[in-house]
């Protein structure tokens, strides 16, 4: 039985840790040849080593996905190494936390660059590489792009932009058989999440705020990305798939009093993005 991505070539950004690393390992296990990219060399090498140890095919390229030339180079290296590009996962993100009155313009622009520009650069480069053969692009959104959260005005605006950007380019790509979709994670264990939740009390409280009663695992988001990247989703484009334990479907009026929350508690709530 062949894998769900057999003979496909996938480029995954932000693939050294977290959701990106989980997606890279899952994709390779499903038959894809995987190129992982990110800013730090050591985590990328570790992910590639793990994939190869399991019999998969993978390589890595360093890239700053907030720089368009670096993204274009990552795509070019992928095509040179594997001969084609079938799947592009724009996963890397760099978010800024800050209450509006204290938010610097430079931080606002940094957040747009770290989320919205990342999706733009990656999607545009993939479009160019997929001309004439089609492909699947999955951009990573956030529940912060669907709902408001104190301290995340910049990040939420950027991720909301990713959603509509993806819808628009899905229409542009349809005639070329290039599908563009979005996976929207809720709170998921990652380096940032663990840093913000050093206190067991904060982690437990955050988990209780999720209808399924726990924080998600990177592999659970990777499974959703795999579905949209695969031919199983061949008739799906311009759509968003939320993976958040039910958080965004809940109307819970008055359950959270942000006016009395400490800055640490607000930061923990912000990690739900």
Catalytic residue among 95, 155, 235, 258: 155
Note whether 214 and 197 are within 8 A (CB). Answer: no
d(CA 217, CA 212): 13
**Considering all CA atoms of the chain, what is the largest pairwise distance in Å, rounded to the nearest integer?**
57
Q: How far apart are CA 245 and CA 222, in angstroms?
A: 14
- Please give the Cα distance from 116 to 142 (Å, whole number): 12
DSSP for 205-240 reads HHHHTSTTSSPBPHHHHHHHHHHHHSGGGTT--S-E
| Annotation says 258 is catalytic | no
Catalytic residues: 155
């Amino acid at each position: 039985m062949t894998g769900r991505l057999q003979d496909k070539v996938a480029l995954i950004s932000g693939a050294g840790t977290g959701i990106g690393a989980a997606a890279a390992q899952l994709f390779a296990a499903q038959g894809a040849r995987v190129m992982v990219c990110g800013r730090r060399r050591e985590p990328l090498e570790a992910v590639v080593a793990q994939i190869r140890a399991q019999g998969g095919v993978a390589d890595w390229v360093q890239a700053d996905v907030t720089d368009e030339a670096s993204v274009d180079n990552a795509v070019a290296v992928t095509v040179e190494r594997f001969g084609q590009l079938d799947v592009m996962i724009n996963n890397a993100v760099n978010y800024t936390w800050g209450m509006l009155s204290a938010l610097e313009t430079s931080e606002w622009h940094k957040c747009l660059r770290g989320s919205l520009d990342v999706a733009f650069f990656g999607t545009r480069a993939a479009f160019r590489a997929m001309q004439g053969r089609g492909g699947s692009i999955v951009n990573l959104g956030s529940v912060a792009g669907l709902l408001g959260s104190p301290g995340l005005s910049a990040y939420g605006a950027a991720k909301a932009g990713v959603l509509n950007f993806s819808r628009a380019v899905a229409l542009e790509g349809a005639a070329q058989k290039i599908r563009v979709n979005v996976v929207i994670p809720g709170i998921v264990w990652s380096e940032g999440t663990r840093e913000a939740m050093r206190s067991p009390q904060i982690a437990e409280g955050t988990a209780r705020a999720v209808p399924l009663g726990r924080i998600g695992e990177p592999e659970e988001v990777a499974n959703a990305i795999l579905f949209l990247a695969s031919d199983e989703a061949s008739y799906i484009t311009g759509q968003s798939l939320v993976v958040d334990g039910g958080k965004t479907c809940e109307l819970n009026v008055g359950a959270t009093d942000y006016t009395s929350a400490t800055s640490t508690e607000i930061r923990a709530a912000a990690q739900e993005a």
